[in-house]
Amino acid sequence: MPTVRPLDPSDYGALHRLYTSMSAGIPHHFRVGEEQFSEQLLGYGRLSAADCVDPGLEAAFVAERAGEPIALALTTVLAKQHEWGPMEPGTGILRFLLAPPGAQEQAIAAIRAAQDHLAQAGAHTVLAMHYIFGPVFHNTGCAMLPAAWPWLGHWLFLAGFRARSSEIRLRRSMKERPEPLELPAGSELREHVAEGRTLGAPANLDEWDLYIDGENAAQCHNAFGENYVRGARHDAVHTEWLGVAERFRGRGLARAMLRLGMVRAWDRGSRVATLTTAGINFRAQALYITEGYAQTDTMWDFHIPH
């Protein structure tokens, strides 16, 4: 059996090299430096995720091969309900997994150690690779399993996990400044003032809400590449959230707000835009494709069925 032990700071260099090699296969992935990797590997990409977990039940397991760390599994347990799902307190999450092809024995050993830890912590539900519970530098703030790492999905399957839902990532280049669309007469744009959806400096966020008759009718919340990976600057922008309140749908507000965000991003130096949407959200996908986006990835999360 492979040796499985708690993560040690001396592992960071080897794990960074592993992550760099693996992430090279993810389309258009930002390259994270070793210093940021080491500082943020155990962190969360979103404030809402960090705020709802029990720090005392976090764990990080490493499996070795020839004395070197070759597989990593990070876990956490929710201490209070989270809005995504919603997920109840006591939900356990295998929130990040690393292992290269050819390390099946070590990877499954690390997964099993994570499962045992979550069982001992009293987790009543177990998820894996959930969107918001990974480190901020991974896949532009998304912890789901990218299509470039299919072997990890297979090994999760062998450990009893099954695919739960999918997200697709889309990307567009901006060769010229997008043409803004007119917003409804009497509407008002307000800067979003709630806590940021991602960890990072306000200078790297551009979040706006549209109010109609005093109601928050639509939102477009963007974050620049620098919000996720140091040195990425504002060359690329990622739409963290695009939404329209139900009673305001059908008026073209999603397109207008998306276009507004792209105009503002262009003016701040962005020439590439990305976003993700649920694999079953065909209406949103149709909008994005007509706005010049093309799919670059499919990502998955997992659960252990009851």
d(C-alpha 208, C-alpha 261), whole Å: 8
Write out the E strands in the chain.
4-6, 59-65, 68-77, 91-98, 125-128, 145-146, 162-173, 188-191, 205-212, 215-224, 236-244, 272-278, 294-303
Burial tier of 184 (Cβ tally within 10 Å: 0-12, 13-18, 19+): middle
**One domain, residues 63 and 32:** yes
289 inside domain: no
- Coil, strand, or helix at residue 87? strand
Give yes or no for a contact between 278 and 243, defined as CB atoms under 8 angstroms apart.
no
Answer yes or no: do 160 and 203 share one domain: no
DSSP code of residue 99:
-
**What is the pTM (predicted TM-score) of this model?**
0.95
Answer yes or no: is 100 within a domain.
yes
Task: Read off the pLDDT of residues 20-67 as tens digits, 9 standing for 90 and up.
Answer: 999 999 999 999 999 999 999 999 988 889 999 999 999 999 999 999
Q: Are residues 139 and 221 in the same domain?
A: no
10 three-class SS: helix
Most confident range (mean pLDDT) of 135-144, 196-205, 259-268 is 259-268
Which pLDDT belongs to residue 200?
Answer: 67
pLDDT band (50, 70, 90) for residue 196? very low
* Rounded Cα gap, residues 184 and 188, in angstroms: 9
**pLDDT for the residue 83:** 87
Query: Is 139 within the bounds of a domain?
Result: yes
In a domain, 306, yes or no: no
125 and 207: one domain?
no
Cis bond upstream, residue 86 (ω within 30): yes
The answer to the question of residue 124 being in a domain is yes
- Give domain status of residue 282, yes or no: no
The domain of 192 spans 188-270
pLDDT of 293 strictly over 80: yes
Residues 36 and 132 occupy one common structural domain: yes
| Residue 85: predicted pLDDT | 79
What radius of gyration do the chain's Cα atoms show? 20
Residue 295 lies in a domain: no
Provide the token pair at 53: 């977990």
CATH of the domain at 210: 3.40.630.30
Residues near 176 by Cβ (< 8 Å), separated by ≥ 6?
none
Q: Is residue 125 part of a domain?
A: yes
* Cα–Cα–Cα angle for 273, 278, 281, rounded to 5 degrees: 100
Q: What is the average pLDDT score of the chain?
A: 95
Mean pLDDT of the 215-219 span? 98
Angle at 228 between CA 223 and CA 229, to 5 degrees: 130
Q: What is the pLDDT of residues 67-90, one digit of tens each?
A: 999 999 999 999 999 988 789 999
Among 134, 165, 196, identify where a domain stops. Answer: 165
Across the chain, which distance is largest between two alpha carbons, in Å?
68
Same domain, residue pair 193 and 147: no
Residues 71 and 151 in one domain: yes
